[in-house]
Amino acid sequence: MTKDTTDKIVPDMSEMWGETTVSRHSGNAVRGGWFRESRFAMFIHWGLYSEPAGRWQGQSYHGIAEWLMLCARIPVREYEQTAARFNPIEFDAGAWVELARAAGMKYIVITAKHHDGFAMFKSSASPFNIVDATPFKRDPLKELAEACRKGGLKLGFYYSQFQDWHEPDADGNSWDFEPDRDFNKYLREKAMPQIRELLTHYGPVALIWFDTPGSISPEASQELVDTVRQLQPDCLVNSRIGNGLGDYATLGDQEIPLTAPDCLWETVDTHNDAWGYSVLDHNWKSPHELISRLVRLVSLGGNYMLNVGPTGKGAMPAESGRILRQVGAWVQRHAESIYGTTRSPLGLQAWGCATYRLGKLFLHVLNWPRGGELWLPLQAKVESLDLPFTHENGRLCITIPELPPESPVTVIELGVSGLIEAASFPHYLQPGLVNKFDAPFAALSHCALGKRSWMERFGDWHHAEVIENWSDGSTAQWSFTALKPGSFYLHATYECRPDADGSEFEMSLGGQRWLFPALNTGGSAGGRVRFRRVRLGLVTIPVAGEYTLAIRGVNVKGRNDFILQTVELEPGDE
Ligand code: JFZ
């Protein structure tokens, strides 16, 4: 049996979950040095919920498994009994650290206490902890801290400061407890003492990863930050502490943005769809996909923290090990292109992206072009490159083999001197590839850039940057340089809810222009955005040169029922 828990239980999740603003005090840059260098980290969601792993009393709870207690509305007294059968005898801190190292990860952040309120460490502030409440009796965070120290990795702790479903005075549990609460009582009696324990008993703590600040008060956030500062001045705090008090920004879960914030930041991601271990989740991402996500973030100056969910027995799922080792083998080979690199002056290209360190660009070819040529706009002087190339008028054309020489992702190293011109967009129409024109890079008039976030399964977030607020006369346009003539299929990816069905738009490119209708892509069930990629027609680029691709609203129906995510030009005549 399946229960759809997506819209019924927590209608206003996004309010609970958002918070990406950070404090700008000058200490961040210095204390965050190691963070910027590291680039790649392991996130571990492990707790009582790992034991039931998405199933409760014969029912399935698809989605993020660490929310089981809420999704199944399990009474505290019943949930507590899970502790009696939580005995993770296969837990081996050394093996986890070895895996993180093999994956090329530089630090680990583990759930010390998630929303269910169960402490994965010995705590005098609450007996609801792994040492006092389970047959296991060991403190895994102690063992992990020791293994990290030996293995040369930094360690940070996830701590749910606002939600604690075990406590009547914290936020989150509406099925056991009354709405009137004394949050300060919980803060003083559990959260603060436990954070103090974490910062005094486990050696140097690299960061505390707070989460779901919800409506936590500025005073409470500040008190938490002050406590961290007082006990471990070098310990970083992420933006989900709330109220803009973090040292660095945590973007939306699993968010691979097209543009980057101007501060220290990270994205946390899953290698399947859940954080905590779920027997229902087999949707593993491929090493190619994970490497693509890593290098796209690194090219924008961000960190990538990739999650694994060990089982209730304390074992890493076999798939996690296999996938992480494959990613790691690649990362180790290309270490120079990842660690310590800074935001790339070259923006996202049709073929992939670049990472950057002084004097070097690393071209990560995520989509291998057919036809033997890879183009990029580059004003700097090319000092070294192992492949044949031509470089004229700021246009670099590299001759590449028919097939990618390396798997999962080929990297081309480019030695450069002089200032590299920031050439993020307009970009080149790369021959032999699908060329994407994304929302944030469009010049807009009478429409606006917006963002949509929604859950597919429960808690499994997706994000899209879109062009919204269309009306008659609204225009989105992208300028680009075509290097060769050719024919291309034009595609648009949009959501068109029923009220906007049949809205008319005009596309124009070069001398060609025609009208097309937007076609109903369906309602938005459970707040989900349902995009469709539609082929609009065949267009011709008659000669090499500068072009503008424009989409204009002609007869737009509905009130913001049409949103456009991307248009694409796909080679049509090969
Ligand atoms: C939170 C937790 O609720 C979840 O269990 C997990 O620990 C995850 C890493 O963090 O979930 C979030 C938080 C923020 C967003 C989405 C899910 N967000 O802003 O998109």
The predicted-structure confidence for 126-139, as pLDDT tens digits, reads as follows: 999 999 999 999 99
Calculate how far, in angstroms, residue 287's C-alpha sits from the geometric centre of ligand 1: 23
Calculate how far, in angstroms, residue 212's C-alpha sits from the geometric centre of ligand 1: 7
Calculate how far, in angstroms, residue 64's C-alpha sits from the geometric centre of ligand 1: 9
Of 4-8, 41-45, 249-253, the poorest mean pLDDT is in: 4-8
- When pLDDT is cut at 50, 70 and 90, the band that residue 259 belongs to is confident
- Matching residue, tokens 């737009």: 556
What is the average per-residue pLDDT within 64-86?
A: 98
Shortest-distance atom of ligand 1 to CA 43: 9
What is the average per-residue pLDDT within 435-443?
A: 96
State how far Cα 243 lies from the chain centre. Answer: 21
Give the pocket of ligand 1 (CB within 6 Å).
Answer: 17-18, 64, 66-67, 211-212, 252-253, 268, 275, 453, 461
* Residue with CA closest to ligand 1 atom 13: 17
- Within 8 A by CB and 6+ apart from 87, the residues are 134, 135, 136, 313
Tell me: the pLDDT tens digits for 383-404?
999 999 999 988 999 999 999 9
Nearest to 102 by CA among 416, 383, 333: 333
Whole-number mean pLDDT of the chain? Answer: 93
Shortest-distance atom of ligand 1 to CA 254: 20
pLDDT of residue 425: 55
Calculate how far, in angstroms, residue 6's C-alpha sits from the geometric centre of ligand 1: 14
pLDDT of residue 6: 35
| Prediction pTM value | 0.94
Calculate how far, in angstroms, residue 132's C-alpha sits from the geometric centre of ligand 1: 28
* Residue with CA closest to ligand 1 atom 3: 212
Alpha helices in 179-334 (DSSP H): 183-186, 192-200, 218-231, 287-299, 318-333
Compute the distance between CA of residue 166 and CA of residue 76 in angstroms, rounded to an integer: 6
- Check residue 42 and report its DSSP letter: E
Higher pLDDT, 335 or 5: 335
* Residue with CA closest to ligand 1 atom 18: 252
Shortest-distance atom of ligand 1 to CA 64: 5
- When pLDDT is cut at 50, 70 and 90, the band that residue 119 belongs to is very high
Compute the distance between CA of residue 574 and CA of residue 572 in angstroms, rounded to an integer: 6
Tell me: the pLDDT tens digits for 209-229?
999 999 999 999 999 999 999
* Residue with CA closest to ligand 1 atom 14: 17
Check whether the bond before 388 is cis (ω within 30° of 0): no
